[in-house]
Amino acid sequence: MTAERPAAGARHNLWAALLLLPLCASALRAETPSLPAVPETASLPALDSAAQTPLVTASQAVPNPAAQSIPNAAAQAAENPVEPGSITGVVMGSEDAVYEGATVTLEPLHRKTTTDGMGSFRIADVPPGRYTLVVAAPGFKTARQALTLDAGQPLALPAIRMEIAPTTTQVLVTPDEREIATQEVHAEEQQRVFGFIPNFYVVYDKNAPPLTKREKFHLAWRTMIDPFTFVGSAAVAGVQQATDAFSGYGQGAEGYADRFGADLGDNEIGTFLGGAVFPSLFHQDPRYLVLGPSSTTRHRIWYALENAVICRGDNRKFQFCYSGLLGSLAAAGISNFYYPAVNRHGASLTFENLGIGIAASGASNIFQEFFVRRWTPHAQVQTDTP
């Protein structure tokens, strides 16, 4: 009995194992992934009987999907080509007016066109992509507009309004002749030798603009009323009194007063006639125009001497100085009315004094040309007007 129980137990276990074996196989098939089937065309490598290594045999190449896509894409592009588009628009200038002739450039294609009489433009056959439209016109800021064009799209842009470009205008303001002449007269009125002797009839500008009649009379009047004119006549009368010049006046206070009046009358009449009246009648400049250091010394000396008898006209040409000589003659003739009869010598004295005056004028001009300016604190700088 005891020997049959183990045998029966073993039989029971065997039957149980046989019954469970299909179930286990089914479960294994469910859990194990299936392997891909080997293509029938692929050949298995043969094994070398000696080395037991696979022998390389020719086999069919596996096709590459990526390589096959290129000719497919080219074929599709050939069958469906990209259709170009177009760009149109209108350019507006100032005050909403259309602008004709504006240059329109499509970058980066460098395609250019210009606007027509209606301010319109059109750029055709444009491939799809992103572009920059550049609009330029004289007097306006350059306008730039980014755009994207789709395939076959006729793109109509909104009106492009141009802004007026800021302009920088350089204005060179130069004073005219009248302003220059007025400025020079004001400067002349400040010129005093040693700081107190008037030197109003000298201008340091060889090309000085001519004076107007008003300026000629103004300059003469300023000289006539200047305090030094009276001081100078007083000093000359004192010297004449001491040397008993014009003895017909006698001595004492009355004689000094007559000499002072006569000398002051000579100065005032000579300045008024020779500096204002005759220069205005003959259109001549009563001033001495300094030639300046730009010329040679010899030229300056000759220029100073000849300006004793010539002067520059208002037409800028040098001519015989009728105004100055007639002014001196007229003043000498008038003086015969108030000089003592004993000291009058007729016309001979008048012309004798005229000659002395011409020589003194030449010497004065030489001093003006070379020395006086350095003795004058507020003298003009030598500035020759172009």
What CATH number is given to the structural domain containing 100?
Answer: 2.60.40.10
Structure tokens that stand for 188 in this block: 């002349």
Q: Measuring CA to CA, how many Å separate 123 from each of 85, 126, 130, 251, 322?
A: 9, 7, 14, 110, 81
Does the residue 118 lie in any domain? yes
Tally of CB atoms within 10 A around 143: 17
Query: From CA 260, how far away is CA 197, in angstroms rounded?
Result: 18
On the question of a cis peptide bond just before residue 210, with omega within 30 degrees of 0, the verdict is: no
- The reply to whether the predicted model has a pTM over 0.85 is no
Does the residue 166 lie in any domain? no
Q: What is the DSSP string of 10-76?
A: HHHHHHHHHHHHHHHHHHHHHHSPPPPPPPTTPPPPPBPTTT--BPP---PPPPPHHHHHHHHHHHH
Does the residue 348 lie in any domain? yes
Q: Note whether 320 and 236 are same-domain residues.
A: yes
The residue whose two tokens read 């628009």 is 89
Q: Which residues contact 163 (CB under 8 A, 6 or more apart)?
A: 140, 141, 143
pLDDT for 318 equals 93
Does the residue 94 lie in any domain? yes
Query: From CA 343, how far away is CA 255, in angstroms rounded?
Result: 14
Does the residue 383 lie in any domain? no
Angle of the 252-272 helix axis to the 213-224 helix axis, nearest 10? 170
The total number of structural domains in the chain stands at: 2
Q: Note whether 261 and 142 are same-domain residues.
A: no
Does the residue 10 lie in any domain? no
pLDDT for 7 equals 41
* Maximal C-alpha separation, the chain: 206
Q: Note whether 339 and 210 are same-domain residues.
A: yes
Q: Note whether 210 and 325 are same-domain residues.
A: yes
The DSSP 8-state label assigned to residue 98 in this structure reads B
Query: From CA 163, how far away is CA 92, in angstroms rounded?
Result: 9
Query: From CA 211, how far away is CA 275, in angstroms rounded?
Result: 11
Q: Note whether 192 and 324 are same-domain residues.
A: yes
Q: Please give the angle made by the CA atoms of 93, 94 and 95, to the nearest 5 degrees.
A: 120
- Segments in the chain below pLDDT 50: 1-19, 24-25, 27-28, 30-62, 66-70, 73-77
pLDDT for 69 equals 44
Q: Measuring CA to CA, how many Å separate 135 from each of 113, 156, 348?
A: 10, 15, 90
Q: Note whether 111 and 199 are same-domain residues.
A: no
Does the residue 303 lie in any domain? yes
* Long-range contact set of residues 61-67: C-beta below 8 Å, sequence gap at least 24: none
Q: Note whether 202 and 345 are same-domain residues.
A: yes
Q: Note whether 131 and 266 are same-domain residues.
A: no
Q: Closest Cα partner for 307 from 328, 286, 292?
A: 286
Does the residue 49 lie in any domain? no
Cβ pair 272, 220 in contact under 8 A: yes
Structure tokens that stand for 206 in this block: 């060889």
Q: What residue numbers bound the domain in which 212 lies?
A: 177-375
Tell me the per-residue pLDDT of 43-96, one tens digit each, with 9 for 90 and over: 444 444 444 444 444 344 445 554 444 455 344 445 556 788 899 999 988 777
The residue whose two tokens read 């022998």 is 55
Could you tell me how far CA 248 lies from the centroid of its own chain? Answer: 73
Q: Note whether 273 and 182 are same-domain residues.
A: yes
Q: Note whether 141 and 182 are same-domain residues.
A: no
Cβ pair 159, 139 in contact under 8 A: no
